[in-house]
Structure 1
């Protein structure tokens, strides 16, 4: 009997492996750390609105009034009226302008916030409520981005939360809720910086361009992004994104062109600041001297003298931050801080430096990192520095100071 051999197994060649594709960039997930930061943000918003409600009743415009003012009335102060008038009537209503007696110099303000206000007003009819909504949403975006930048830099989840705490309880935090530009600017600038950290240069450039439409400070951010790009571009591939870095200049260029078409002056916004806010150029030591005189030589009422003292303190804090950034070789952030200090420190005297500390995101990250190494820093900040924020809030909400 013959025995048949079993058939040989047939091998089937496996299909060739597909070439590995480049990993897709995914948006970061919204995790527990983000929820914690947003919870802190909502709590501080409740606190600041309680403060505003108390101010409207304790310090009414008419001391004999028997009816409390609107909850929104304390927020309608100072620069808010310029943004409102631009949103309502544009920059040059009925042919008025710098050539008109009593002109309010509104062209000093960039169009990003007024345009956003006008758009939201379509949905929210009350102008002040529309501004409050913008600041609330933008502030939430800003604090989330700040916490993510801090977690990335400090490599610590608690570092992100502490950065948010220091930021939200900062002395000038009231301006994050006001109808001002700080929240909207940060809602664009901080995600732009985060995108740059991740190498997403098109997104960083677009966001920075939008930030430039809100504040001229966006140009300082653009300079920092350019330096960061040069320092991190290790091979030829990233340089394909280099043309994106020119985009942020588009917003101020368009604004200058718009003003030049109506005034003949490409720098009309700067000249309006010089006329209305003494922002003509002076040497840094002259600006310091003039502010020092106003603060300590009894040439101003005590309230204005205190404001000048706070301005000087904010400038010293900015210089200290700059030194720390340079020593740690965080040169892009140092460039951003240096340009900001130069712009604010070369006027006749210091104006709005305390409010600008909100825009110095390296400051809040540095404080958080310091507090992780020295726990007493956090306690000192919460018990000594943070209460000063209530003083600033009451001062602003009663129309005594613009920050």
Structure 2
């Protein structure tokens, strides 16, 4: 009788790479993010169908999306001109040129590429937002923070051919790099954020000031380099516009033609008084914008009370100062604050301690309100988001 030969030992399964492990850790947050956004998209599609309106034009071809399409197709203007709301130098270059480059090497049209970039960026943003919540608190907080960002009042913009998702992704991962003391990636992402939106200066401020504060405790060539380089993207574009228009204040002259001048919040307070105290029948969308701005201010105060990390407070504080202090158009300001996700951390941390029933009720209400308000913004409100 022969003894059976034991099977040869199998090689141990290699552990997943750190990036794969991080993605698996974030998977519930990304799944929750997709679920919230798909619910919102379904509400929009149903409402649009009843109004005999296509969904794709809303997402890919209207308002700012048209401006980015024009830049990707024809480039920037060479002159300042005198027409109001008509100069494309007000729009920063990273998003349209990424779209142009990807469209040239793929079979997708410019509009389809713009949507694909926005959708991909939104997932990267959701991952970065989760990473910050998880790093500062725990996995549940990271998931809740991601869901709350997905349910922002005008969150439909995250899946439109706009720059908000790309900017939020760059801001989130830059701030995460700061929180984990990786100064060069933080500065590199801040440079890209500065080429994406005017509020990129808020990311640069967070990185530069955080790096400067760290130098008080220990010398680091990387931190010192981050202090200097983080604002370069924003400064480079502003300088380039000045050179293109042959005047040192070229970029700011363009902004004046778009009525975007900083006046310390006088216009914001005037609109608050008008909408909440004088207008007998205020437009629903403008009421939503106003309540979002008031809530954002209150949440910033709570963020200070909770002693959020300094880089997050600098970022959201700068975002609020830019948005609330602007004398420009009022109606897009809820969208302008969309990248300021750290404002939602006080809510996320509170919900982690709440009962399951209250948590589901709060999230369900937020998702429903966001879906309705986003669809209203796209189909009823007659102007840009």
Give the TM-score category using the shorter length: 0.7 to 0.9
Offset at 1:275? 2.0
**Alignment match of 2:118 (pick from 135, 139, 151):** 135
Classify the secondary structure of the residue corresponding to 1:171. coil
Residue-by-residue CA offset, 1:342-401 (whole Å, 9 max, x unaligned): 211223363422113321121222211011123366345324332221222213332634
Unaligned ranges ≥5, structure 2? 1-16
1:147 aligns with 2:127: no
Classify the secondary structure of the residue corresponding to 1:72. helix
Aligned to 2:315: 336
Aligned to 2:3: none
Deviation larger for 339-348 or 234-243: 234-243
**Alignment match of 1:309 (pick from 287, 298, 305):** 287
Offset at 1:103? 6.7
Distance in structure 2 (CA, Å) of the matches to 1:292 and 1:53? 35
Classify the secondary structure of the residue corresponding to 2:231. helix
Offset at 1:322? 2.0
Aligned to 1:393: 374
1:290 aligns with 2:271: yes
Offset at 1:127? 2.2
**Alignment match of 1:86 (pick from 55, 68, 71):** 71
Q: 1:373 to 1:267 in 2, by over 3 A?
A: farther
Aligned to 2:174: 192
Q: 1:383 to 1:374 in 2, by over 3 A?
A: same
**Alignment match of 1:125 (pick from 108, 114, 138):** 108
Classify the secondary structure of the residue corresponding to 1:280. coil
Offset at 1:35? 1.6
**Alignment match of 2:342 (pick from 353, 362, 371):** 362
Distance in structure 2 (CA, Å) of the matches to 1:246 and 1:385? 40
Q: 1:395 to 1:138 in 2, by over 3 A?
A: same
1:41 aligns with 2:30: no
Offset at 1:283? 3.4
Distance in structure 2 (CA, Å) of the matches to 1:358 and 1:111? 19
| Superposition RMSD in Å | 2.6
**Alignment match of 1:378 (pick from 338, 359, 366):** 359
Offset at 1:142? 0.8
Aligned length: 363
- Give the conservation status (yes or no) of the 8 Å contact 1:219–1:249: yes
Matches within 5 A, 1:178-327: 178-233=160-215, 235-276=217-258, 278-294=259-275, 296-298=277-279, 302-303=282-283, 306-327=284-305
Distance in structure 2 (CA, Å) of the matches to 1:150 and 1:82? 34
Unaligned ranges ≥5, structure 1? 1-24, 62-68
**Alignment match of 1:57 (pick from 40, 49, 56):** 49
Aligned to 2:8: none
Residue-by-residue CA offset, 1:56-78 (whole Å, 9 max, x unaligned): 422236xxxxxxx4x41122221
Give the TM-score normalised by the residue count of structure 1.
0.81
Offset at 1:48? 3.7
Deviation larger for 243-252 or 370-379: 370-379
1:74 aligns with 2:74: no
- Give the conservation status (yes or no) of the 8 Å contact 1:56–1:74: no
Rg comparison, structure with higher value:
1
- Give the conservation status (yes or no) of the 8 Å contact 1:139–1:183: yes
Q: 1:329 to 1:36 in 2, by over 3 A?
A: closer
Distance in structure 2 (CA, Å) of the matches to 1:128 and 1:273? 26
Q: 1:33 to 1:364 in 2, by over 3 A?
A: farther
Offset at 1:105? 1.9
